[in-house]
């Protein structure tokens, strides 16, 4: 027999990047009275991480709680990007209903599809909210049809296809059952949640809870969050953690039980089945473990997480400028930080290298996930070098398979030809090409993950910045063959010192430069792109030879073209296998793996011999 918890609802909000999910939660918090009238609240309060605010995306799943008509509603803000999908799959197990938030102009996008497919498989019934209806280019009727088609294609049952629809604008703070209004407040959304989302189903028996997310706190230590499946938990209770195979991972005592109230975690005396809480006191229990009473023997089944598709090598910074800008440079410190990250992020996999103690293989699901990790470490004061991303292959039935991604590109019609041509060169297959309104076309392709490394910047230059690309993991397929890499070589500094404008001016005809006047360089550092296919060693610190002879016009002002700006993502996709990106808190530099030219020639000969 299963008991039910009354006056409690658990919901997740699903939306594509930038469709207004976190803004919607801001409004829900304000209108439910979670904040004092005079309280200062940051915009997009749920994106608490600096990187989340800068990029305008949700990276980590977070829980908040509001009270409406004597019912507590736990709301989970899920990551909208497929690279952070490792979180999404487990989070959906905590909730009993989902709100699918869709932009009234853009319609459902691939990441929406990724998360919705997981939710529908779990049997969750969706509420569809059409957001940003105040946009001039909104087309809500067509978008509703697109959402219905998406659900039908994802094998939704009849109950799921009979979804309620709301229209509104999170920014303006209203939702209504009709597109015309009334434009009052969010009450229609709250009422729909109470009406359509079932109360949490629970089981009889002693305490058990599946750990869904993990966080660390400097005072409380490891904090494990999940939904209580059965029983009651309270501070000082003795519990154990069971691994997926039923073995005991650890035994411990609950030091604190934390419930969610607004944006805060608040200590409570006890929590009962159906509620989403955080538990402190365990030291080694992790995501997908079952926390339970001492008498429970059977762990709660946990979904397997999709495998990583990309891997990179993280190494210590062994360049001449090592240790001059960052405070954390030793391999031991880098290793501990990576292992700590892997504990909380199950989509990451860290492999220690037996041959080289100073390098670590880090595998994750997509470029964005790995670049966010690097950027976070960089801000914490780490110095390191990283290799070009490589795809993670799988052997199925004795044949090598590689990860394939579904890519959806919205582009002006005049540029669609060059986009299809470039992606077909990268072994992409065009599945669909149809007008998306306003003189634009929507292209749907299946492209190998390795073909997409570094393609985004090329796409923007081909389409004059007008294309929008979205991608989502599709599956593994047989290897598609060789893909042509970068066509150009690089300019390599052959001396250490400060770059001089006179030398850079004379090198501009060789190709675009990546550094400006006065930048410190070292031997083996990449300072520009060579217009031809081979690498060229150059001297960027050579000053002008001074003489006593004076002549009119001899000392004309040196004018330099603005150097190429290398962002982290651009640098990672630009380098070849024999090159590295050196990352410090202050700079991102490109360099050769072997700084000495003789070592480079030796490595080249070995490669040719193999």
Span 497-515, average pLDDT: 87
Give the separation between CA 409 and CA 469, rounded to whole angstroms.
Answer: 4
Going by pLDDT thresholds of 50, 70 and 90, the confidence category of residue 182 is confident
Tokens describing residue 401: 């398979």
Q: Is the dihedral of CA 305, 310, 315, 319 positive or negative?
A: negative
User: Which strand (E) or helix (H) includes residue 491?
Assistant: strand 489-493
Rounded alpha-carbon distances, angstroms, from residue 519 to 318, 514, 539: 19, 10, 13
pLDDT at 111: 62
Span 98-125, average pLDDT: 80
Compute φ and ψ for 554, nearest 5 degrees. Answer: -75, -35
DSSP result, 190-205: HHHHHHHSPPPB-BSS
Tokens describing residue 107: 């319609």
Span 69-87, average pLDDT: 68
Give the separation between CA 163 and CA 178, rounded to whole angstroms.
Answer: 14
**Per-residue b or e along 292-327, where b marks 16 or more CB atoms closer than 10 Å to that residue's CB:** bbeebeebbebeebbebbbbbbbbbbebebbeeebe
Q: Decide if 124 contacts 98 (C-beta within 8 A).
A: yes
Q: Is the dihedral of CA 321, 327, 331, 334 positive or negative?
A: negative
Least confident of 6-10, 296-300, 528-532, 553-557: 553-557
Span 357-381, average pLDDT: 84
pLDDT at 1: 33
pLDDT above 50: residue 40? no
Span 130-140, average pLDDT: 82
Going by pLDDT thresholds of 50, 70 and 90, the confidence category of residue 89 is low
Residues 6+ apart with CB under 8 A from 55: none
pLDDT at 48: 44
Give the separation between CA 375 and CA 382, rounded to whole angstroms.
Answer: 10
Q: Decide if 98 contacts 411 (C-beta within 8 A).
A: no
Residues 6+ apart with CB under 8 A from 519: 498, 499
pLDDT above 80: residue 373? yes
Q: Report the DSSP beta bridge partners of residue 521.
A: 497
Tokens describing residue 45: 């309060």
pLDDT at 553: 59
Span 25-50, average pLDDT: 55
Tokens describing residue 215: 């966080």
Give the separation between CA 405 and CA 475, rounded to whole angstroms.
Answer: 7
Give the angle 581-587-592 at the CA atoms, nearest 5°: 30
pLDDT above 60: residue 555? no
pLDDT at 86: 53
Tokens describing residue 249: 């991972």
Q: Which contacts qualify for 434-437: CB closer than 8 Å, 24 or more apart?
A: 436/410, 437/139
For 584-597, the pLDDT digits (tens) are 998 889 999 888 88
Give the separation between CA 557 and CA 468, rounded to whole angstroms.
Answer: 41
Give the angle 306-308-309 at the CA atoms, nearest 5°: 115
Can you list the positions of beta strands (E) in 306-398? 310-315, 349-352, 359-364, 384-386, 390-391, 394-396
Quote the percentage of the chain above a pLDDT of 70.
Answer: 88
**What rounded mean pLDDT belongs to the chain?**
81
pLDDT at 235: 92
In order of their start, the domains of the chain are 8-196 (3.40.50.300), 208-293 (2.40.30.10), 314-346+355-388 (3.30.70.870), 394-478 (3.30.70.240), 489-546+557-609 (2.40.50.250)
pLDDT at 470: 74
Phi-psi region of 424 (alpha: psi -120 to 50; beta: other; left: phi over 0): alpha
Q: 208: helix, coil or strand?
A: strand
pTM: 0.71
Q: Decide if 473 contacts 448 (C-beta within 8 A).
A: no
């Amino acid at each position: 027999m299963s008991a039910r918890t009354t006056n409690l609802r658990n919901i997740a909000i699903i939306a594509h990047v930038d469709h207004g999910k976190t803004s919607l939660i801001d409004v829900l918090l304000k209108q439910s009275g979670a904040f004092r009238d005079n309280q200062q609240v940051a915009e997009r309060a749920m994106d608490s991480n600096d990187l989340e605010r800068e990029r305008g995306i949700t990276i980590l799943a977070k829980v908040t709680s509001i009270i409406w008509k004597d019912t507590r509603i736990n709301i989970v803000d899920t990551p909208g990007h497929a690279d952070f999908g490792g979180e999404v799959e487990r989070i959906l197990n905590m909730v009993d209903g989902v709100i699918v938030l869709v932009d009234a102009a853009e319609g459902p996008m691939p990441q929406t599809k990724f998360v919705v497919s997981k939710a529908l498989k779990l049997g969750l019934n969706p509420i569809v909210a059409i957001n940003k209806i105040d946009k001039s280019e909104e087309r809500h009727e067509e978008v509703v049809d697109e959402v219905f088609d998406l659900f039908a294609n994802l094998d939704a049952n009849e109950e799921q296809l009979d979804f309620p629809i709301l229209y509104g604008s999170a920014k303006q703070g209203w939702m209504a059952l009709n597109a015309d209004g009334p434009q009052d407040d969010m009450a229609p959304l709250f009422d729909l949640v109470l009406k359509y989302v079932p109360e949490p189903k629970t089981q009889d028996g002693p305490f058990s809870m599946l750990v869904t997310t993990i966080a660390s706190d400097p005072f409380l230590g490891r904090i494990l969050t999940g939904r209580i499946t059965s029983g009651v938990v309270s501070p000082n209770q003795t519990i154990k953690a069971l691994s997926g195979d039923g073995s005991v991972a650890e035994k411990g005592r609950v030091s604190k039980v934390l419930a969610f109230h607004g944006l805060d975690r608040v200590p409570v005396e006890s929590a009962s089945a159906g509620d989403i809480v955080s538990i402190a006191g365990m030291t080694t229990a992790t995501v997908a473990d079952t926390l339970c009473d001492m008498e429970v023997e059977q762990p709660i089944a946990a979904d397997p997480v999709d495998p990583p598709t990309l891997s990179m090598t993280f190494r210590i910074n062994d360049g001449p400028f090592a240790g001059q800008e960052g405070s954390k440079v030793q391999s031991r410190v880098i290793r501990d930080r990576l292992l700590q990250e892997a504990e909380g992020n199950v989509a990451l996999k860290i492999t220690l290298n037996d041959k080289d103690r100073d390098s670590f293989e880090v595998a994750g699901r997509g470029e964005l996930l790995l670049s966010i990790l690097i950027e976070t470490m960089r801000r914490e004061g780490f110095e390191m070098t990283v290799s070009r991303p490589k795809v993670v292959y799988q052997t199925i039935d004795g044949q090598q398979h590689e990860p394939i991604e579904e890519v959806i590109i919205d582009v002006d019609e005049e540029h669609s030809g060059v986009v299809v041509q470039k992606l077909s060169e990268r072994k992409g297959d065009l599945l669909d090409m149809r007008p998306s309104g306003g003189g634009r076309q929507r292209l749907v392709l299946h492209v190998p993950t390795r073909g997409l490394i570094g393609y985004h910047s090329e796409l923007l230059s081909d389409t004059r910045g007008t294309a929008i690309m979205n991608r989502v993991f599709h599956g593994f397929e047989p290897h598609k063959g060789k893909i042509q890499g970068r066509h150009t070589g690089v300019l390599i500094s052959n001396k250490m010192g400060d770059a001089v404008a006179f030398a850079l001016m004379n090198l501009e005809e060789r190709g675009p430069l990546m550094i400006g006047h006065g930048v410190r360089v070292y031997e083996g550092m990449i300072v520009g792109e060579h217009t031809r296919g081979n690498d060229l060693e150059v001297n960027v610190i050579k000053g002008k030879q001074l003489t006593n002879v004076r002549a009119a016009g001899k000392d004309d002002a040196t004018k330099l073209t603005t150097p190429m700006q290398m962002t982290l993502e651009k640098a990672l996709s630009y380098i070849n296998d024999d090159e590295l990106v050196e990352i410090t808190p202050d700079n991102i530099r490109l360099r050769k793996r072997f700084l000495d030219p003789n070592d480079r020639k030796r490595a080249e000969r070995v490669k040719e011999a193999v």
